[in-house]
Structure 1
Amino acid sequence: MSTQTESAKRRGQAFAGALAGVAIVVVLTVVFFVVKNNDSDKTPVASTQPAASQPAAAQPTDAAPSEPAAPTAQAQPSAAAVNTPAALSKEPEVKAGGTTKLTKLVKTTLVAGTGPAVQKGQTVTANYKLVKYATGEVMDSSWSRGTPFSTQIGVGAVIQGWDEGIVGLKVGSRTQLDVPEALAYPGQGDLRFVVDVLAAQ
């Protein structure tokens, strides 16, 4: 066999060996990523409540305002045990307030509560119904979701109208909160809430 033939044969073997080495590296890389992805799929994911289903604190934005869904951008805290009084067992009918612009928060007691007064920083569990103040159009309601809403109050977790309006209310009360736009959602106008305070802890 000639030296030229042997040299060509060696080059071919070296090339084949290099290709085999590259193939092994590719296979190992693929296996590594497949195993890693399978492990990451098993990582527990924290459950969160959709922000759109709560009375969220208003965030400053240049974008067009979205419809407010409820008074928290934060996840709902654990609800306190609730013993709903008979006077709060039926969904309230909420009417329009009129076309006069609100200049301040107005609280009107509809059902007097007999429980303790809500303190700043407590977690409140409440049913509420929200309408546009001028027209009475329903914008949101915990009644329609079939579950009360829980949030920490007085700490900026919800709109200012709730933080100012709910502190001091008694558990077991039903209160109408007429909230000027400045204490609610930019671009949504004045609002009327009827809030049933079911528990506070």
Structure 2
Amino acid sequence: MSERVQNRSAGQGPGTKAERRLAAQLAAKKAAEARRRRQSMLGAFVGVLAVAALIGGIVWLNNGDDDTKSTAAAPSASADAPVEPTAAAAPQLPADADPALKTKPTVGAGKGELKKLNVTTLIKGNGPAVKAGQQITTNYVGVFYKDGKEFDSSWGRGEPATFGIGVGQVIPGWDQGLVGVPVGSRVQLDIPGELAYGNDASGGRPAGPLRFVVDVIAAQ
């Protein structure tokens, strides 16, 4: 009897073995729970990365779309940049506008020496007269006065150009020639070099006298 007591006290009895098995089971359970927690955390982290990548892709696509959107332009007053982008949207023609304004005009060369600004009304609109300080929307074609070679056109960009008139945003020939023109009109502007971009052909500017045919679509 004393030997059985001694064996139990030495940790060799059946009760001690059961405790060891229980301890091992508890340890395995804790290890399994730890693995599940790590897997859950890893899954959440991967999910966050996926969402961030998706948002980044959407932002990139939107920026790319913005970069590729076409913009209208008008003859800028800047000597260094004769064509300056604007953010004009193409409006509808006035309800009573001449149907000819839906079609790009054919513009030829001028005759003789151009010494002053000439404004010729090709189609007279029924709208209010353009006032200095207004934002006007136009379609236009620009050619060299001497040979009729086209150098610029809003029709080629697929939308009109909107800009302030009479305030120095465009070349002087436009500022002077378009104020007072009724909305819905098509006018021809024959502009000497000093009222356009000058007579110096350097810098890529359209130098010398120019001819524009301009459709005034809106003014506000």
Q: Does TM-score exceed 0.5, indicating one fold?
A: yes
In structure 2, list runs of 5 or more residues that go unmatched. 1-58, 201-206
**DSSP 3-state at the match of 1:55:** strand
**DSSP 3-state at the match of 1:139:** strand
**DSSP 3-state at the match of 2:131:** coil
Q: Deviations over 1:87-129 (max 9, x none)?
A: 31111111100341x2211000101111100011111111100
Deviation, structure 1 residue 177: 0.3
Q: Distance in 2 between matches of 1:156 and 1:91?
A: 27
Task: Tell me, yes or no, if structure 1 residue 87 matches structure 2 residue 94.
Answer: no
**DSSP 3-state at the match of 2:116:** coil
CA pair 80-50 structure 1, distance change in 2 beyond 3 A = closer
Contact 2:189/2:212 (8 A) holds in 1? yes
TM-score of the superposed pair, with normalisation by structure 1: 0.65
Match of 1:200 in 2: 219
Match of 2:32 in 1: none
Match of 1:191 in 2: 210
Task: Tell me, yes or no, if structure 1 residue 96 matches structure 2 residue 109.
Answer: yes
TM-score of the superposed pair, with normalisation by structure 2: 0.60
Q: Distance in 1 between matches of 2:75 and 2:105?
A: 22
Q: Of residues 149, 154, 158 in structure 1, which corresponds to 2:170?
A: 158
Q: Distance in 2 between matches of 1:60 and 1:141?
A: 18
Contact 2:86/2:161 (8 A) holds in 1? no
CA pair 110-196 structure 1, distance change in 2 beyond 3 A = same
Task: Tell me, yes or no, if structure 1 residue 112 matches structure 2 residue 124.
Answer: yes
Match of 2:156 in 1: 144
CA pair 77-149 structure 1, distance change in 2 beyond 3 A = closer
Deviation, structure 1 residue 146: 1.3
Q: Percent identity?
A: 47
**Aligned residue pairs, count:** 154
**Correspondences of 1:35-50 after superposition (within 5 Å):** none
Q: Distance in 2 between matches of 1:81 and 1:122?
A: 18
Match of 2:135 in 1: 123
In structure 1, list runs of 5 or more residues that go unmatched. 1-41
Contact 1:77/1:123 (8 A) holds in 2? no
